[in-house]
A and B are shown apart, each in its own frame.
Chain A
Amino acid sequence: MYSFEMHKATSVANAAALLAQSGGKALAGGQSLIAAMKLRLAQPGALVDLSGIAELKGIRKEGDAVVIGAMTRHAEVASSKVVTDAIPALAALAEGIGDRQVRNMGTLGGALANNDPAACYPAAVLALNGTVHTNKRQIAADAFFKGMYETALEEGELITSVSFPIPKKAAYIKFVQPASRFALVGVFVAQTAGGVRVAVTGGASSVFRAKALEDALGKAFTNDAARAVKMDAAGLNSDLHGSAAYRAHLIPVLAGRAVMAAG
């Protein structure tokens, strides 16, 4: 690890000021950033630690949505009664991220800002048609995820919370890459007020919506309907652990399993 300065922010405004002043990076749970720094793959001159900011934490129900603070840990989401009652699929997703240590440190906001192409949370935000709240604005899920490790967040913009509209039904099925246990392909299926939404993570350079599956499941919310969809392998990832064709095959299979799990 290269040496760096560490700042502890006391409020969102203070964090923004410290980031602007230091030119550093925001530190949420650090489960990707600290590992990259230890490998000398990331070299921020300064870190601004968000863990002491009370306003970024917590889970609450607001009308027809569950709102989760950006610095809420995965383990807190997984065990939250609010989440397990309203959107059990989201709690189950959080319970399946990384390992126990990662879940006790990693945060919702950190995962979304990082937008790892194989991360779980982006699939939930996109499929549930969530809204990302920042210190500057609100960003709809469909406009948030821009590409590999790329989001709509601007310089100095911090996620403060995410609101998840409560779906009629939802489930997430993660097919793990055997080594990393990230999603080789993860499919989140949700019956929302605006229709069926299907988000796929791990399949391409960034999370995406599978429109063909959404159309098919909009007509019949069944395993068979999902399995009948043929996904195009073009544009999907291909690596040691799975070809694009394999991923294209897995997406409808997992979507079908998600439909069955959603009940």
Chain B
Amino acid sequence: MGATEPGVIGQSVRRKEDLRFITGAGQYTDDINMARQTAGVFLRSPHAHANIRSIDLTKAKAAPGVVAIFTGADLTGVNGLPCGWLITGTDGKPMNEPPHPVLAQGKVRYVGDQVALVIAETQNQAKDAAELIDVDYEVLPAVVNCVDALKAGAPEIHEQAPGNKCYLWALGDKAAVDAAFAKAAHVSKLDIINNRLVPNAIEPRCALASYDRAADAYTLYVSNQNPHVERLLMTAFVLGLPETKVRVIAPDVGGGFGSKIYLYGEETAMVWASKRVNRPIKWAADRSEAFVSDAHGRDHVTHAELAMDKDGKFLAMRVMTNANMGAYLSTFASCIPTILYATLLAGQYTTPAIYVEVTASFTNTAPVDAYRGAGRPEATFVVERLVHQAAVDMKLPQDEIRRRNFIRTFPYATPVALTYDIGNYDATLDGANELADVKGYAARKADSTRRGKLRGIGYASYIEACGLAPSNVAGALGARAGLFEAGEVRVNPTGSVTVFTGSHSHGQGHETTFAQIVAGRLGIDIANVDVVHGDTGRVPFGMGTYGSRSLSVGGTAIVKALDKVIAKGKKIAAHLLEAAEGDIEFKDGKFTVAGTDRSKAFAEVSLAAYVPHNYPLDKLEPGLDETAFYDPTNFTYPAGTHIAEVEIDPDTGVVTVAAFTAVDDFGNIINPMIVEGQVHGGVAQGIGQALLEHCVYDPESGQLLTGSYMDYAMPRADDLPSFKVGTRVTPCTHNPLGAKGCGEAGAIGAPAAIMNAVHDALSAVGVTRIDMPASPHRVWKAIQSAKA
């Protein structure tokens, strides 16, 4: 933290929200109930690809407790779900953007596609009735792999997307890259699969929609990360309602990891239906439903090449990626493998020329969208696996090849459209080397060898772009929404403060971190600060929480509002102290006439603002309540080095993570404990991707083969070592907090670090390629193949 920040900032303050969470007092959407509430259940497609010949509701409508059943045919005047980011292809044309219906319109395109909304008195009755719906499907061939989908003869999923292509997009100077490759001393190459993941937030999605006839307005409680965006997309794009008619409340939310950013068909259909049945409707997904219907993550197939001179200095990089969009374009799907991926391919290195091509295709799978890290883990995986391979090829130590290529001059404009404002990559690499005791590695490896085990070490020196985003930059790149944040600081008469933020907390601890900022800046007790978020009826506006943006963008909006509060407070204090405004200083919760001991406490000033008996009413409005919108001028660039050590049992293929070290630069830190927790969670998810998690669809039938925890392996405590975590600080140069963001770093660095370690370990037995997840079976098979 910066030395000038007040006391409470930079302290590991215990999380204010934890008391209610750990005592079971959290209020999640499913905890909220209304009078006359009904239960909604979605009938979902059992087929990956089929035409709907007919739907017979006769028996289902007659079932006990049924209130109403709606299908796609009923949703007249309801538009499809929008995609929030328009990508323009290399041909200069907009991406293919087929309709994304709220309920299926004559065709289903993945297992889980919603066909009907059944509303009944109880959930069990709705489920019983759903089973009585007779849908006559004409089953069509399916395709689930993003490369197969583009092959001639692949089943066509949308008539608006010939050949299943969404777009072919490119970034960088192809000619410069080709020229650099032509003169390179060495080229390292890799083929990489970034495995598909299911988000698995602990709270499955849930919504409660109601309609108020008196106000002709709707209220939607929904497990969501950005209620204002949800409202904007639902009203303006889909239902054709004024925003004022829909209030969206995202109460306590049990994790999102991206999957709750999006506007989904379920809650949209429910809001629409709540007026038709004139009763509240609640839908609570169960885990099986979450597996098939939440937007998934990753799913890239990539070929990458790195050109170097004879000393291992990077000359150019060439990357060809296929990205799976799933059956429909989810809210931000199109920008993940482009804007949030290709722009990060410079990593921490001075590679002067980079060219990347991305082909996005539709498949008969659940939509794919942002998942913790969103494009940046995929980019880091490509860069850092390639750098690892380059070091192997050039016979250079892993840290040395990185040092030879680090960016050291800032600001630095990369060849892929970003300008890094600040960083110190040597500091995080050196810090990680030290914390990981790399000096002692040889002895640990010798010990593993003695025990018949294969030991490996892997580095990932990642960078990410957080603090989404300068709206003008995003707009130029195709964003259909702004990416600022709003904050309101309402000082109550006695000096307590209510903060309204457009950021949303679903595990991040905003109620504490943001309160620390306010308490620190105003010099008041943190207990006197309450943070309100997640309600379009209370918060002025907001773009929500994703992309590690809450502190750097949402926090800055609060700081801007605080600045306004303090400026107004100075005016009030100047009046009360009969001094010139310019002579008033604000420090430690007191307005003081400079150079004197005459002062007014913050609470005295706030009381004067609301009881303006002695107040400059001719010049100043009463009250002390300020709102600010903040639009960042650049992304923030958290970076760091992660080092993994693995030990592999060659008899069984089991990979054990022996040690994991993360040294990160998140800029200034408000609450070190929360930051460490974010790193732990991110690293756990990254290790999950590297070693355990794998979403698999059957290539023939398109059925989801890993549709439960019986087959989809989540990381558990005993899969993980005790992490070693450290930080180095270069404050962000363009926001007043100097903060960069920490929410995704673990998930970004860990997969590459782990897989580099796995490859290092397996190199001893001749294995050259293994894809994620490096499950025991896969590792064993790779060892057998290498032996053969």
Question: Which A positions have Cβ atoms within 8 angstroms of B?
Answer: 1-3, 39-40, 175, 178-180, 182, 240-243, 246, 249-250, 253
Contacts and interface: CB of A to CB of B under 8 A. Distances in A.
Contacts of B288: 39
Nearest to A39: B288
B652 A243 contact: no
B21 interface: no
Contacts of A250: 652
Interface string B406-447: 000000000000000000000000000000000000000000
A253 B127 CA distance: 47
Contacts of B710: 179-180, 182
B776 interface: yes
Contacts of B127: 40
29 contacts: A1-B124, A2-B124, A2-B128, A3-B124, A178-B692, A178-B775, A179-B706, A179-B709, A179-B710, A179-B712, A179-B714, A180-B709, A180-B710, A240-B696, A240-B705, A240-B706, A240-B711, A241-B711, A241-B775, A242-B776, A242-B777, A243-B777, A243-B781, A246-B653, A246-B777, A246-B780, A246-B781, A249-B780, A253-B651
Contacts of A2: 124, 128
Contacts of B780: 246, 249
Contacts of A242: 776-777
A240 B653 CA distance: 15
Given A2-B124, A179-B709, 6 more contacts: A2-B128, A180-B709, A180-B710, A180-B711, A240-B711, A241-B775
Interface in B693-745: 696, 705-706, 709-714
Contacts of B713: 178-179
B583 to A, nearest CB: 66
A242 B775 CA distance: 9
B703 to A, nearest CB: 12
Contacts of A3: 124
Contacts of A180: 709-711
A67 B612 CA distance: 84
Interface string B54-74: 000000000000000000000
A242 B128 CA distance: 37
Question: Which 10 A-B residue pairings sit nearest by Cβ, starting from the closest?
Answer: A179-B713, A178-B713, A180-B710, A242-B777, A253-B651, A179-B711, A246-B777, A178-B692, A179-B712, A246-B780
Interface in B107-145: 124, 127-128
Contacts of A241: 711, 775, 777
Contacts of A40: 127
Interface in B632-656: 651-653
Report whether over half of chain A's contact residues are helix, strand or loop; otherwise say mixed. loop
A120 B706 CA distance: 23
Nearest to A179: B713
Nearest to A38: B286
A243 B784 CA distance: 13
Report whether over half of chain B's contact residues are helix, strand or loop; otherwise say mixed. loop
Interface string B768-780: 0000000111001
Contacts of B124: 1-3
Contact of A175 (B652, B711, B714): B652
B652 A253 contact: yes
Nearest to A99: B716
A201 B776 CA distance: 18
Contacts of B128: 2
A32 to B, nearest CB: 11
Contacts of B711: 179-180, 240-241
Interface in B299-338: none
A175 B714 CA distance: 17
Nearest to A250: B652
A106 to B, nearest CB: 16
A1 B696 CA distance: 27
Nearest to A247: B777
Looking at B712, B776, B781, the one whose CB has the most chain A CB atoms below 10 A away is B776
A182 B709 CA distance: 11
Contacts of A246: 653, 777, 780-781
A41 to B, nearest CB: 10
A182 B710 CA distance: 9
Contacts of A175: 652, 776
Contacts of B775: 178, 241
A253 B288 CA distance: 35
B687 to A, nearest CB: 12
A49 B127 CA distance: 26
A1 B124 CA distance: 7
Nearest to A1: B124
Contacts of B705: 240
A253 B776 CA distance: 14
A250 B714 CA distance: 23
B610 to A, nearest CB: 53
Nearest to B775: A178
A178 B652 contact: no
Looking at A3, A175, A241, the one whose CB has the most chain B CB atoms below 10 A away is A241
Interface string B651-679: 11100000000000000000000000000
A242 B777 CA distance: 6
A96 B542 CA distance: 48
Contacts of A179: 692, 706, 709-714
A14 to B, nearest CB: 30
A178 B696 contact: no
Nearest to A252: B651
Nearest to B710: A180
Contacts of B777: 241-243, 246
A246 B781 CA distance: 8
A123 B781 CA distance: 27
B709 A178 contact: no
Contacts of B709: 179-180
A250 B652 CA distance: 7
Contact of A178 (B651, B776, B781): B776
Nearest to B691: A178
Interface string B508-540: 000000000000000000000000000000000
Looking at B288, B775, B777, B781, the one whose CB has the most chain A CB atoms below 10 A away is B777
A242 B705 CA distance: 14
Contacts of B776: 175, 178, 242
A242 B654 CA distance: 12
Contacts of B696: 240
A258 to B, nearest CB: 14
A200 to B, nearest CB: 15
Interface string B525-561: 0000000000000000000000000000000000000
A157 B248 CA distance: 56
Interface string B270-298: 00000000000000000010000000000
A121 B714 CA distance: 25
B285 to A, nearest CB: 14
Looking at B124, B128, B713, the one whose CB has the most chain A CB atoms below 10 A away is B713
Interface in B740-758: none
A83 to B, nearest CB: 24
Contacts of A243: 777, 781
A103 to B, nearest CB: 16
B751 to A, nearest CB: 16
A162 B710 CA distance: 29
B65 to A, nearest CB: 12
A235 B711 CA distance: 21
Contacts of A178: 692, 713, 775-776
A61 B127 CA distance: 49
